[in-house]
């Protein structure tokens, strides 16, 4: 496809991560050949039924250029979410960048909580219990595998 705008003016290295259950950060770098006055704007659509929305909280660099976005109250839907970053400059047309992302694939899981260790020295055994991490898109315990690393002191 032919994109309107100057070559290599679209953003690069776009990536997003979901953390703490419902927060999401997306970041990018300015296009290699984008003019210095280029400003970027991110729009996203969480699912096909939602409206496209502009980022409400941009992450800016020292020159005031938008280089990322912070989102709150993100819901993970089963469909892919759509992200679009376009740019504007006085000097030239800027190419847009877009991507569909399956949000559950970019979720950084919390660690297990309420970990308890109950050891019985006479039997030489310990019972270790925990609660699975809270995640935004599933209540299925079978999604999780755990590894316990025991170091004797």
Please report, for residues 105, 132, 138, 139, 146, the alpha-carbon distance to residue 142 in angstroms, rounded to integers and kept in the order given. Answer: 17, 10, 10, 9, 11
Global pTM value? 0.81
Within a domain: residue 133? no
pLDDT tens for each residue of 3-38: 578 888 999 999 999 999 899 999 999 999 999 999
Place of tokens 């609660």: 131
List, in order, residues 6 or more apart from 5 with CB less than 8 Å away. 92, 93, 94, 95, 96
Please report, for residues 101, 119, 126, 127, the alpha-carbon distance to residue 122 in angstroms, rounded to integers and kept in the order given. Answer: 53, 9, 11, 13
Q: What is the Cα–Cα distance from 11 to 122, expressed in whole angstroms?
A: 63
How many domains does the chain contain in total? Answer: 1
Within a domain: residue 23? yes
pLDDT tens for each residue of 100-142: 999 989 999 888 889 999 988 888 888 999 988 877 766 666 6
pLDDT tens for each residue of 30-77: 999 999 999 999 999 998 888 999 999 999 999 899 999 999 999 888
Q: What is the CATH number of the domain that holds 46?
A: 2.60.40.10
């Amino acid at each position: 496809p032919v994109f309107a705008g100057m070559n290599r003016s679209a953003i690069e290295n776009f990536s997003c991560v979901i953390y703490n259950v419902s927060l999401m950060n997306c970041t990018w770098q300015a296009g290699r050949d984008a003019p210095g006055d280029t400003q970027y704007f991110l729009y996203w659509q969480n699912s096909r039924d939602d409206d496209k929305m502009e980022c409400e909280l941009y992450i800016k660099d020292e020159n005031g250029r938008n280089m990322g976005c912070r989102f709150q109250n993100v819901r993970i839907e089963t469909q892919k979410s759509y992200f679009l970053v376009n740019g504007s400059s006085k000097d030239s047309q800027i190419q847009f960048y877009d991507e569909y992302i399956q949000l559950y694939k970019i979720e950084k899981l919390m660690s297990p909580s309420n970990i308890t260790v109950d050891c019985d020295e006479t039997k030489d055994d310990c019972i270790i219990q925990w609660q699975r991490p809270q995640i935004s898109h599933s209540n299925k315990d079978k999604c999780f595998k755990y590894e316990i690393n025991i170091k004797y002191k």
